[in-house]
Structure 1
Amino acid sequence: MGGDFNVVRRPEEKLGACIHRKVMGEFDAFIEDSALVDLPLNGGSFTWSSRREDPSFCRLDRFLVSPEILQNWPDVIQKLFLNKISDHSPIAIRRISWNNGPKPFRWFESWADETGYDQVVEEAVTQSKGKGIGAVLKTCKSHSKIWLQSRSKRNPDSSSILEKMITDLEDLVQNEKATSVQKKN
């Protein structure tokens, strides 16, 4: 079972806000009565932030699993991921030693429109000519990775720019909401 429970289990799971000990105790009792296990959280301590000038932080999101899950997969954890867009940070349940083999290579059609990418493919095809389609694809994959890395070095802040634009838009929407509430009052 997983999600936003909107309550903390321990005082150290909340920072900068008041603690409701009764609700906290009830939630802890629910977990124990249900014989569930709250998995360790790796990657941080808090899954939610108020994002205000004087912020508060809480661990509201979690996965609760049965002991049977831990018998089959004793290395299961909760992984916290960085999130600059929402007030909740995403979490995932995963095995520490999880290995599904090599990551698949993804090709995006938009790359074909990029200047110079056609030359990358031509070079890869020429280099692996006569070795079969598997060799051609493998060479295209390695050449494409090199091309992507060089492209990222030329535009290192592209994701940062998009994240800033999203944050600015969220702030604009919040300010407009605050202004309309003030006008109503």
Structure 2
Amino acid sequence: MANNKGSFIVIGDFNVVWSASERLGSGFSSSPASDFNNFIFEAALVDIPMDGRKFTRMDRFGCKLSRLDRFLISEGLLDDVPNLCCFALERRWSDHCLLILKEDPIDYGPSFKMFNSWLDMDGFSEVVSNCR
């Protein structure tokens, strides 16, 4: 990837986790996690934050949980689309959750511009108070 121009999205079931916190009910091996983290760092990839669920894979008994599935994107793409997020859906037909990559624009609600000089105007605080 470093020798090619452009942006990259790497999607998959990586069969490895970043850290012990991404596993529950099964053993954690630091060597594969270290290799995985080095790959992500050297490829200049970013792991998209996941909403919806903490884990993406569950064994058939529901005892072993892991976050194996993820979207890794190039840093340049994150600059172009900064509000990307990953959403994990409910697991139904597989031992893995379906993941959706989406742009989640931040909505701060209605806004307006205000000048500091307005604070000194007679009646300004009453107007604001009456707008509640």
TM-score by length of 2: 0.70
Which residue of 69, 75, 83 maps to 2:83? 75
The aligned residue for residue 61 of structure 1 is 69
Equivalent position amino acid for 1:92 in 2: I
Unaligned runs of 5+ in 2: 1-9, 107-132
What is the number of equivalent residue pairs in this alignment? Answer: 97
Letter in 2 for 1:49: M
Question: d(CA) in 2 for partners of 1:97 and 1:79?
Answer: 14
* 1:21 aligned residue (30, 33, 37): 30
Unaligned runs of 5+ in 1: 99-185
Aligned counterparts, 1:1-185, within 5 A? 1-52=10-61, 55-97=63-105
Q: Which has the higher helix share?
A: 1
Deviation at 1:41, TM superposition (A): 0.5
Q: Which has the higher contact order (CA 8 A, sep 6+)?
A: 2
Specify which structure has the higher proportion of strand: 2
Helix, strand or coil at the partner of 2:82:
coil
Q: Residue type matched to 1:65 in 2?
A: I
Higher-Rg member (1/2): 1
Q: CA RMSD in A?
A: 1.3
**Runs of at least 4 residues off by over 2 Å:** none
Identity %: 34
Alpha-carbon distance in structure 1 between the residues aligned to 2:54 and 2:60 = 16
Residues 67-124 of structure 1: CA deviation (Å, up to 9, x unaligned): 11111110001111112221000101111129xxxxxxxxxxxxxxxxxxxxxxxxxx
